[in-house]
Structures are given as C-alpha cells and as structure tokens.
C-alpha cells in the first residue's frame, strides 16, 4: 500500500490528497492526507511532484551504490 509515501508526498508538497472514496457504492471512510493542503492541483503540481520523486530515486540509488561499495 502506498499510504505512507503518499502522505509524505502530500506533506512535502503542501497538497491535500486521497480522501473519502467509494468502493462498490459504499463509502470507504478514509480521511484526507494533509487535510489543510491545497486540493486544487494542476499540471505544474504534477511536474513538481515528479521532480521530487526523481530526486528521491536518485538519492536512493546513490545510497545503494555507497552501501554496495562499502560492503564489498
């Protein structure tokens, strides 16, 4: 489940994500992630989120390379 990283992204970018949904016509009862964040998002917000994601992936790759180098 993506709840933890989704909540981290919502907080980092100041977005309000997720919220109540319906499954099979029944409300899920889920709350908002970062309820005080912006709910109206557009294409530049998606690009901003993708840039943050890319930086996180690069950082993870660098950390894995360092640990691999040190372990051998």
> pLDDT tens, 14-63?
999 888 888 899 888 788 889 899 999 999 999 999 999 999 999 999 99
Residue 69: which pLDDT band, with cuts at 50, 70 and 90? very high
Instruction: Specify whether the CB–CB gap between 69 and 39 falls below 8 A.
Output: no
How confident is the model at residue 3, as a pLDDT? 82
- The pLDDT score that the predictor gives to residue 31 is 83
What DSSP string describes 13-72?
A: HTB-EE---EETTEE----EESTTSB----HHHHHHHHHHHHHHHHHHHHHHHHHHHHH-
């Amino acid at each position: 489940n993506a709840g933890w990283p989704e909540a981290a992204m919502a907080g980092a970018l100041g977005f309000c994500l997720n919220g109540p949904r319906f499954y099979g016509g029944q409300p899920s009862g889920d709350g908002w992630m970062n309820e005080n964040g912006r709910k109206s998002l557009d294409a530049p917000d998606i690009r901003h989120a993708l840039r943050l994601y890319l930086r996180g992936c690069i950082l993870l790759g660098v950390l894995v390379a360092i640990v691999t180098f040190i372990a051998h």
